[in-house]
Structure 1
Amino acid sequence: MPAVRFVDVFSDRPFRGNALAVLHDADDLSDEEMLAVARWTNLSETTFLLAPTDPGADYRVRIWTIGGELPFAGHPTLGSAHAWLEAGGTPRREGVVVQECAAGLVEVRRDGGLRFAAPPLTRSGPVEDAELAEMVRALRLDPADVLEAAWVDNGPGWMGLLLRSPEAVLACDPDRMRFAGMKAGLAAPYPDGARDDDVALEVRAFYSDGRDFGEDPVTGSLNAGLAQWLVPAGHLPSRYVAAQGTVIGREGRVHVTVEDGHTWVGGATHTLVTGERPA
């Protein structure tokens, strides 16, 4: 069985989604070794599959960036579930995979694809004026283009900004030096509900840990938080498709459904590379 899988998440076209490295049977690795692997892959996240500690879980995952461990992240959730199933994992419940992560148990449904139930926001509500002003300056946005802002943090720390138009989202060119230590998600609905390809929302995600700056190709956690904010506020319908990664040459498509009080986030998953861990 391959011990390492590189999974493309949130795109039907190979190499156009968000890449994830998944290491199977990683119970023997220390925190230091996991961090070293994450820094070596140099992806936005690398995950490690372990035996569950919660009796209600099918497997446990630890999610690492080059800067440290995350309690939850979206594309690693889908990519890890995909890899676990492809490796022969059998869920306890038909059609449902239960993932254990630092944020708790996350349900992943299998119904023509994979989609996860968004965890509750750990921080929500309006952004203080001073924090918003600093973010707008760091993103080099025209303040008139910012319609609303809210915290949409389910672990990674996202601040969400609703912009006036998709064009304003795509034109954003952050000041990398001023952006240090920030995480922001920009979003704007398309007029008339959706484009010809059914995309209703344009999204971009920027992050910095104080050392490195980047734009995340396609972000499940951010899209989950945006949906938990924008759907109840009436800015989006209960079912829609978001595009992300457009500016950096990706074709991310995130499928969001809000039903029965739960927000579900899904998208395509494909294994593109497999390998073995050295003895």
Structure 2
Amino acid sequence: MSNSSALQYHVLDVFTDTPLTGNPLAVVFGGESLSDARMQAIAAEFNLSETVFVLPATRPGALVRARIFTPTLELPFAGHPTVGTACLLADLGLAGEGEALDIVLDEKVGPVPVRIRKSADALTYAELTTAVLPSFGEAPPAEVLADWLGLSVADLETDADAPRGASCGVPYNLVPLRSIEALGRARLQAHKLAGARPVWSSSFYLYAATHQYGVLRSRMFAPDLGVGEDPATGSAAVALCGHLADRSPTEGVLRWTLLQGVEMGRPSRLQIQAEKRDGRIIAVKVGGQAVRIASGTLNL
């Protein structure tokens, strides 16, 4: 049994190659003896969008178990903690030897395969494949979403695309906008959600096309997860990827780039990919880089 009075931790910036950008992540080792409440308290202390506790795997074939906490609750799956943890394990020499590594992380949602690539510039890239394929639900009406987001109905895309609920383990309301300008104006009116909780999800992933083909800008609001706005959200990115692939008439491998966190001053880059055969989505992936910016000891 580990001594929980001194825990090693690392802090990384994920979905970026530049320190102090991307989405910060804390990864804690040696917490086998911690209670759920203690893990939640530590995540609240870090006060980042997510904190990961790396533990011995419980599923055959998995390298480690990863428990993921926001400041207020535990998640079954999240993208930037998975990508960041995989990059860290590789950097620490805990994922095996070689420039290309395939590992599995044991998460609440199930086994999550991750492919890791080390490059000559010493930056590590990790790409996860979701444990579950996308599912879809009904988003609130456009006029309700516009009101909640401080926008007008005219700001929302309702023709070529339309709001939709989507999930690859964590559900989101996907909200397409007509312009980058509208994306920048969006402000979640959290007080308006108190009396009218959406059935599908109370988290919102907004996106708009850029002038560059295959590149989208996005923002994410999740007040119920203790995250006012998130600079890079892998679980939302794969939900969006599933939606885009589902609506696309194209078969084969479909790819997009997401730029998130720009409005927060934490620019992030997420690479998303779906494989579609005979009208069915058979795989959804998200990848990105991570840089380690701090290491230390929690003295509890």
Cα distance, 1:36 vs structure 2: 0.6
Scaled by the length of structure 1, what TM-score is found?
Answer: 0.88
Residue 94 of structure 2 aligns to a residue in which SS?
coil
Q: Distance in 2 between matches of 1:216 and 1:6?
A: 16
- The 5-angstrom pairing of residues 144-223 of structure 1 reads 144-147=154-157, 148-180=162-194, 182-191=202-211, 193=213, 200-209=215-224, 214-223=228-237
In structure 2, relative to structure 1, the CA distance for the partners of 1:257 and 1:173 (3 Å cut) is: same
Q: 1:74 — aligned with what?
A: 79
Residue 65 of structure 2 aligns to a residue in which SS?
strand
Q: Distance in 2 between matches of 1:209 and 1:247?
A: 21
1:115 to 109, 127, 131: 127
Q: Which amino acid aligns with 1:278?
A: N
Q: 1:266 — aligned with what?
A: 287
Q: 1:197 — aligned with what?
A: none
Scaled by the length of structure 2, what TM-score is found?
Answer: 0.82
Cα distance, 1:240 vs structure 2: 2.2
Q: Distance in 1 between matches of 2:132 and 2:208?
A: 23
Q: Distance in 2 between matches of 1:213 and 1:82?
A: 23
- The 5-angstrom pairing of residues 85-164 of structure 1 reads 85-90=90-95, 95-112=101-118, 113-120=125-132, 123-129=135-141, 132-147=142-157, 148-164=162-178
Misfit runs of 4+, over 6 Å: none
Deviation sequence 1:210-267 (CA, Å, 0-9, x none): 8x56111111111111011013313998222110011110110001222363222111
Residue 240 of structure 1 aligns to a residue in which SS?
strand
How many correspondences in the alignment? 270
Deviation sequence 1:128-166 (CA, Å, 0-9, x none): 53xx54332111221122221111223433110111122
Q: Distance in 2 between matches of 1:179 and 1:92?
A: 49
Q: Distance in 2 between matches of 1:263 and 1:225?
A: 9
Q: Which runs of 5+ in 1 are unaligned?
A: 195-199
Q: Distance in 2 between matches of 1:209 and 1:192?
A: 33
Q: Is this contact kept in 2: 1:257–1:265, CA < 8 A?
A: yes
The answer to whether the aligner puts 1:229 opposite 2:243 as a matched pair is yes
**Root mean square deviation of aligned Cα:** 2.5
Residue 174 of structure 1 aligns to a residue in which SS?
coil
Of all paired residues, the percent bearing the same amino acid is 32
Q: Is this contact kept in 2: 1:189–1:201, CA < 8 A?
A: yes
Q: Is this contact kept in 1: 2:171–2:239, CA < 8 A?
A: no
Q: Distance in 2 between matches of 1:189 and 1:124?
A: 21
